[in-house]
Structure formats: structure tokens, C-alpha cells
Structure 1
Amino acid sequence: MTLSVVQCTDESRWDASVNALFGHPQQLWGWGQTKASHGWSVDRVLVQDGGELVGSAQLLLRKLPLPFRALAYCPRGPQTLPGREAEVLAALEVYTRRAHRPVALCIEPDWEADAAPARALAAAGWRSTESTILIGRTLILDLTLSEDELLAAMSKKHRQYIRKSGREDLQYQEVTRAELPKCLGVYRETADRAGFGIHEDRYYLDIFDNLGSASPVYAAFQGDEVVAFLWLSVSENTVFELYGGMTAAGEHLRANYALKWLAIQSMKERGAVRYDFNGLLNDGVSKFKMGWAKHENQLAGTWDKPLSPLYPVYSRAMPLARDGIRFAQSTAARVKPALKSAIPRLKSTIRGRSQTG
């Protein structure tokens, strides 16, 4: 039977479908709602076999200058029934091409790189790209393990610092919306110190409001001041770290150790089974992450399905368009000129081919 693809416009039904298929928090309604308020549009579709739900995908769509039209992006999706991945992707490809006519459909599925669905992507016409949005190399804790087992898997130093920071004169607790600006102040301080870009405060407040209980924030308080915070997003199955930061005082007190352990304990108690640290690089933050377990995980990575004859030009000449997905607001001003500058080269190439053909 041919699978059917239908739009979903009901928030409760959508989140229920994501959780029923053990989907990722970046596939929840509130995440798409936030992106739709900050330069994107969103299309949520259910993939059905008769009356049975076999998959779903939240597509984020970013307009690109002509002739490229748009890019369709499915963060950590789609989610499917086991064994139906290839069918769902094929149906999603047909739907996306007809409904949106983008230059490509980009997916970063929440699949292990050595799992059968990931290994089958290349044979189905998907193209692996190094221009990643969400980092595939990461650390995922199994929250079905006992706390003693999780502690045993950590480095000795991490266990020591959890105990040490837990004895400091700090209060560790979940953050209210009224306290959130203090966390954002710490985030700005952390970004300035480390030299990375962040969004305006409105973006983070929208995440908090739109995801609600699916996006808890934990903080270490020294008196009334936040010295460290950790921001999560959570589906029924998976926890995904979004943001975090520390002041100089928080770093001195090793507040991030007891804080992260509190978050892990809280998510385990909540019933989640996977805790994703959201990427490993070769930096100090990743070194801190890797001390929480003796293993690491490699997810499938970033894959494009070309949906336009212009995809080869897009993939060569427009890397800024893909890089802009990380911080679309801050990079949009650079993406558009890059795309426009490529159009004359594209026209020249087309004229050359027509003259020689």
C-alpha cells in the first residue's frame, strides 16, 4: 500500500505522534513554533499506512533567493516505526518536492551511524555532507541505568567534583520564567568570554514559553545570583541539552558538575531513557562532557536529498546558506549576498551548456 502524507495542525495530536514514535524534542510542536517566529516556516506531516501511523516529520523551511527557492530541514527526524524508515523517507521526499519545491531536503536523523537505516541512505540517493547543523558525534547516556551505574561510568574526577560542588554554599533548582533573564545574562557573559554568537533574548524566551514543561532550565544560585545554568529540551524518550553557561564564580566553585548531575537525576526520574549531550568537538566543553561516561556515540550525520537540478550549484557555491541554519538571524545578512553572487555564475554556466549542446 502506498503511504499517505497528511498535514497535522493540532498541537496535542502532533506531540502525541512524536512521542508515540519515540521522537526527538526538536521535533516537538514548540520547537517548530519558535523557529516559525524567527525567520522560518514549519510544516508538520503524519505518514500513514492506511489508518496506522508509521512516521512523522516536522519540516523547517527557510526561503532562499531565486532560483533556489527554499531549503527544507528536518532536525533529528523523521521519527518512524522500526523497519519503516526507507518507506517514510521516500514518501516524505515526494511530499516535500510537490508541496515546497525546495532545492534539497536535509535530514539529521536520530539514528546511530552503524544502524541499518543510516547505512541505507546513500543507496537511496541521499548525499552525506560535512556541512552539519547538529553535530553527529555526541555522548548519549542510558537513563535506564541505576544512579550507581551512571556514577561508576564517570571519571573519578567528575565524581569528586560532583561531591565537592554539592557541598558549596550553592542552591541548585529549576528556574522559573521570572528568573530566566538571570540565566540569559550568564549566557551572554559566557558567549563573550568564549567568543561564540548567540540569539537575542526574545528567541530564548520563546523557546521557554513554547515548549513549556518540555524545556526545563536548571541553575546554581549563590544567594540571588545565578552562577551556572543548564537548559534542556525533553520528549518522553529523549533529553537534549540546548544551552549552558557559567560565571567566573561558578567555574571556580565547579558548579556545573553538581548542576548537570541534578539535571540527569531529574530527567531519569521524569522517565526519559536517553540523555544527549548535544555534540562533541575537540574543546574544553567537550572534554568536560566526555568525563560523564567511558563511551561516545556517532549518529547518522547530515544528509541531503537533492530535489532540484540546481542542487549541485547550491552545494558548491552556497555553504553559507547551510551554515546560516545554526544562527539564521545572525547569518542571514551574509547568506543572501552569497546566494545572489552565485546566480550570475549559474546563468553563465547554463548559457555555456546551451551553446555547446
Structure 2
Amino acid sequence: MKLTTFFDATAEQWNAFVGQWPDFALMQSYEWGQFKEALGWKAIRLAVKRDGQLVAGAQMFIKPLPLGLVSIVYVPRGPLLHWEDEPTVQALLSAMHALARRHRAIVLKIEPAIDYSPEMQQQLQSYGFRRSDFNNQPQCSMLIDLSLDDDTILANMHKTTRYNIRYSARHGVTVRAGTAADLDTFYHLLQSTARQAGFPIRSREYYRQEWNVLAPAGHVKLLLALYEGEVLAVRMPSCFGSQAATLHSGSSSNHRKLKPNELLMWESLKWAKSQNCTTYDVWGIPDEIGAHLYQGQPLPDEEEQKGGLWGVYRFKRGFGGKVIYHVGAYDFVYSPLMYRLMNIAMTRLGSLEKLARLGDYLNH
């Protein structure tokens, strides 16, 4: 058996490898790397071959911080490997550390899409990683099974959700596909939702670049729900391989009784099925749900829960689906002092993306 690491995988080779993983892996795709590079990150794809076959890999995103003296290295939804394969794990992590140190990284942040367990936590800690204070991707979510026929998918939904889907369509709400010309409307509704729910969104440029790179590759679809010509809600489902997810959605406060979001989600599920996807990730529910289910404890009383993802959870759970609970984000720290300063900045800014944008501003 011969293990080798390399950096020169073609887009076709890389996407074929990433697409075979059972979890939503768009953020490890070649096109996601191109998108992040358009935002000022450097994408490096590192792979391991065994006897000529690609068996593990990580798309690593590198962002210089102020003055370019240090950087952060981030691996969203990765690395992609079989953690029980010790030689491969060692080969890939060694190459990742060498690359991170070459770029004077403060930290190597990974967020693998692997199930939570104390054993998995211990394994990551045995490799020198510590639990991060910040998740950049959802740790807990729900998966909807799209391998079923439409009637069965509908039957698995809560009866109120099924009713609302049909009610919306009966009362004149329509759904159409969007184009680049609709991105300003899309962003306006994201802003409106963020203000109402009290959560941050990214810059207008972020979403435009995402569309410019991912839409031509067929990885995203923009859907708009309208009533009498007015756009009431927007949703951008994404697909890669056989998995799909909603990364972005927004709505106005007008005509809420028409339930446009339920109809729009149903159309998103149908679009994902048409792309041969077998699962749909609703992309984020409260972490407490995963923790309680793992520990076999009763779920918290929803009526007493406020803020965070609890509001959207009540909407998302209506579509059925199985709860998934990942291990979360883990950090390998190279510079403890700079790492503490970075975490202080993250606490104030609220997201890794905003920290990266601050770095861009100060570097110029």
C-alpha cells in the first residue's frame, strides 16, 4: 500500500471525489473554491491517493489577516476522509499542517460533517484539535428523504404544513425561477428577514459572487414566490452530488397569511428531486435539539424558547425529516496569543466572514 499527497487534482477529478460523500459537500466542491477566491480567499485542494486512487482530501481556504503577517485556514464541511483509517488520517493531517504553517496560520479550523459522539471528540482531541468556540456551519439540522415519491414526502409532513402548501397555491401564490436580475430583490428580502429575526447576513457582493460562480454550474437555483406581481419570499436551494440544501431564504411581512414560504420550500424540494438529489438538508436547527436527542433527554419546551433558530425550527420541522447532529467545529492552534485575540474579534464581529472582511479592509 502506497499513500501519496498531491495538489493537482483537476476540477473533474476533485468533484467526482467530493460528490461521492454521503453528506452535503458543496463547500468542498471545486466551484465553491472558485467562489471563495472571488471574495479574496485562497483555495488549495489537498488530496491523498492510495495506490493511485483518491481516498481523502480537504479544500482549505486561506485568508491573510491585517498586514498579511498571519492567516487563518478554514476547511468547511471537511476534511473528507474515513476517520477510522489511521494511516490516511495521519497522511492528510500532516500535509494540512505543513500547508497551514507555510502560510503562517494562527489556526487550522475544520468542520467535518461527521456524527457527534464522545469517541469522535476524543479522536479529534488526540490529534491536537480543541473544540472551537464558534461553529461556522450548522451543527444540528434535519434531512428530508427525497428518494420517496412526492405523495409520501407530503404524507411525512405535518398536516398543517401540507395544508399551507395547498392553501398558498389555491389562493394565488405562484413560484417562478429567478435570474441575476432578481438578485437585488433577493438581497432586499434577506435584509428584511435578518432585521426581523435578529441574525446577521453577508454582504451583497457575497451573494452576487456566489450566484455568478455556482448558478452556471447548476449548483444553485433562485426561486421566488409572488402574489399579484409582488415578490413575497425568496429561496436559494443548492445541490451537489446527490445532496441538496437551502443556504439562503428570506421573506417580506406582506401577505404572510398566504403562506408563501411553505409553497416555496415545497418547490425547492421538487427542484432538488429533479436534480437527482436523494436528501435535502434544511440547514440549521437549534443545537440543543441534537444534544438532547443524543443524550436521550426530552426536548425543551418550544413555547419557552425564544430567539436563535427556534423560530425557523418550528417552520422546518413541519416538513418532516430526520435530525442530524454533527461534531461541530474544531481548531488546531499554532499561535495561542493570536488565537485568543482572534476569538475576541470573532465575539465582537459575530462571524468568520466578517473577520475576513475586516482583514481585507485593514490590508488595504
Please indicate, yes or no, whether the TM-score normalized by the shorter chain is above 0.5: yes
Q: CA separation of 1:197/1:273 partners in 2, compared to 1, >3 Å: closer, same or farther?
A: same
Q: Please name the residue that 2:250 is paired with.
A: 245
Q: CA separation of 1:151/1:68 partners in 2, compared to 1, >3 Å: closer, same or farther?
A: farther
Q: CA separation of 1:19/1:122 partners in 2, compared to 1, >3 Å: closer, same or farther?
A: same
Identical counterparts, % of pairs: 26
Once the two structures are superposed, the pairs formed by residues 1-357 of structure 1 within 5 Å of their partners are 1=1, 3-8=3-8, 10-22=10-22, 24-65=25-66, 69-80=70-81, 84=85, 86-101=86-101, 102-114=105-117, 120-212=123-215, 213-281=218-286, 282-293=309-320, 295-306=322-333, 308=334, 310-311=335-336, 313-320=337-344, 322=346, 326=351, 328-329=353-354, 332-333=357-358
* Deviation for aligned residue 1:205: 1.4
Contact 1:75/1:107, CA 8 A, preserved across alignment = yes
Q: What SS does the aligned partner of 1:111 have?
A: coil
Compare 201-210 and 181-190 and name the one that shifted more.
Answer: 181-190
Compare 29-38 and 143-152 and name the one that shifted more.
Answer: 143-152
Compare 88-97 and 34-43 and name the one that shifted more.
Answer: 88-97
Q: TM-score, normalised by structure 1?
A: 0.82
Contact 2:63/2:356, CA 8 A, preserved across alignment = no
2:83 and 2:27 map into 1 onto residues whose CA distance is 19
Aligned length: 333
* Deviation for aligned residue 1:170: 1.8
1:118 and 1:168 map into 2 onto residues whose CA distance is 50
Compare 189-198 and 319-328 and name the one that shifted more.
Answer: 319-328
- Superposed CA offset, 1:193-231 (max 9, x none): 333333332221111111121011211122443211111
- Superposed CA offset, 1:146-176 (max 9, x none): 3333223322211111111121212212222
2:351 and 2:201 map into 1 onto residues whose CA distance is 10
2:257 and 2:16 map into 1 onto residues whose CA distance is 42
- Superposed CA offset, 1:1-44 (max 9, x none): 45322113633332222113456011112222222222321111
Q: What SS does the aligned partner of 1:275 have?
A: strand
Q: Please name the residue that 1:340 is paired with.
A: none
Q: CA separation of 1:65/1:226 partners in 2, compared to 1, >3 Å: closer, same or farther?
A: same
* Deviation for aligned residue 1:270: 1.7
Contact 1:60/1:72, CA 8 A, preserved across alignment = yes
* Deviation for aligned residue 1:330: 6.7
1:325 and 1:74 map into 2 onto residues whose CA distance is 18
Q: Which amino acid aligns with 1:318?
A: M
2:97 and 2:259 map into 1 onto residues whose CA distance is 50
Q: What SS does the aligned partner of 1:77 have?
A: coil
Q: CA separation of 1:182/1:332 partners in 2, compared to 1, >3 Å: closer, same or farther?
A: closer
Q: What SS does the aligned partner of 2:319 have?
A: coil
1:30 and 1:11 map into 2 onto residues whose CA distance is 8
1:130 and 1:231 map into 2 onto residues whose CA distance is 28
Q: CA separation of 1:45/1:330 partners in 2, compared to 1, >3 Å: closer, same or farther?
A: closer
Contact 1:141/1:274, CA 8 A, preserved across alignment = yes
Q: Please name the residue that 1:354 is paired with.
A: none
1:170 and 1:52 map into 2 onto residues whose CA distance is 50
Q: What SS does the aligned partner of 1:45 have?
A: strand
1:116 and 1:51 map into 2 onto residues whose CA distance is 31
Q: CA separation of 1:72/1:317 partners in 2, compared to 1, >3 Å: closer, same or farther?
A: same
Q: CA separation of 1:181/1:236 partners in 2, compared to 1, >3 Å: closer, same or farther?
A: same
Q: CA separation of 1:331/1:35 partners in 2, compared to 1, >3 Å: closer, same or farther?
A: closer
1:115 and 1:87 map into 2 onto residues whose CA distance is 22
1:25 and 1:170 map into 2 onto residues whose CA distance is 30
Q: CA separation of 1:3/1:224 partners in 2, compared to 1, >3 Å: closer, same or farther?
A: farther
Q: Which amino acid aligns with 1:53?
A: L
- Superposed CA offset, 1:334-355 (max 9, x none): 9999xxxxxxxxxxxxxxxxxx
Q: Any stretches of 5+ residues in structure 2 without a counterpart?
A: 287-308
What RMSD in Å do the two structures reach over aligned CA positions?
Answer: 2.9
Q: Which amino acid aligns with 1:290?
A: R
Contact 1:105/1:304, CA 8 A, preserved across alignment = yes
2:196 and 2:31 map into 1 onto residues whose CA distance is 30
Q: CA separation of 1:128/1:336 partners in 2, compared to 1, >3 Å: closer, same or farther?
A: farther
Q: CA separation of 1:222/1:79 partners in 2, compared to 1, >3 Å: closer, same or farther?
A: same
